[in-house]
Amino acid sequence: MTIEWRYTDYPAAGVLSISGHLGVQAADRFGGAIGWVAERGTGPVILDLTELKGWSAEGQAAIAEAAVRLAAHDRPLELAAIPADGSLVPDADQRPIPVHPDLTAALAAHRVGADGRGGAAAG
């Protein structure tokens, strides 16, 4: 089984949504998506896992590697709606990966409204 992905670029963050199962067979496709995303947009990348059916240890490792790749482009990785069957623990030398309960919360953290536009920062 593989994954499907789509990317949406908002003013304050990009959202990479994936569906399917992130395992050994999907790791290369996921890596390609990360490479594509790294070259587009600026700011944080929210990995939306709402439609992910599951992930293996290799899939989790691919996400940890994605965080390193994106950091090299000054684009921190954040997760939204991780599967209930696991948690992601980055390597000890990696910075923690923020986790949001769902995509709505992740977007709100970056002041992206329901219309997809960024809100003004409170002053």
* pLDDT tens-digit series, residues 34-68: 999 999 888 999 999 999 998 998 999 999 999 99
Query: What's the CATH code of the domain at 20?
Result: 3.30.750.24
The answer as to whether 123 is a domain residue is no
Query: Does residue 78 contact residue 102 with C-beta atoms inside 8 Å?
Result: no
The answer as to whether 105 is a domain residue is no
The answer as to whether 71 is a domain residue is yes
- The count of domains in the chain is 1
Query: Does residue 113 contact residue 119 with C-beta atoms inside 8 Å?
Result: yes
Structural domain including 51 reads 3-97
The answer as to whether 103 is a domain residue is no
Which residues neighbour 33 within 8 Å (Cβ) at sequence distance 6 or greater?
A: 5, 7, 16, 18
Starting from the edge strand earliest in sequence, which strands make up the sheet with 99-100, in order?
Answer: 3-9, 14-22, 45-55, 77-80, 99-100
Block residue for tokens 């696991």: 86
Q: To the nearest whole percent, how much of the chain has pLDDT over 90? A: 61
Which residues neighbour 14 within 8 Å (Cβ) at sequence distance 6 or greater?
A: 7, 8, 37, 40, 41, 43, 44, 45, 46, 75
The answer as to whether 106 is a domain residue is no
The answer as to whether 24 is a domain residue is yes
In the predicted structure, residue 121 carries a pLDDT above the cut 80? no
Q: Label residue 10 by pLDDT band (50, 70, 90).
A: confident
The answer as to whether 26 is a domain residue is yes
Single pTM value for the model:
0.86
The answer as to whether 113 is a domain residue is no
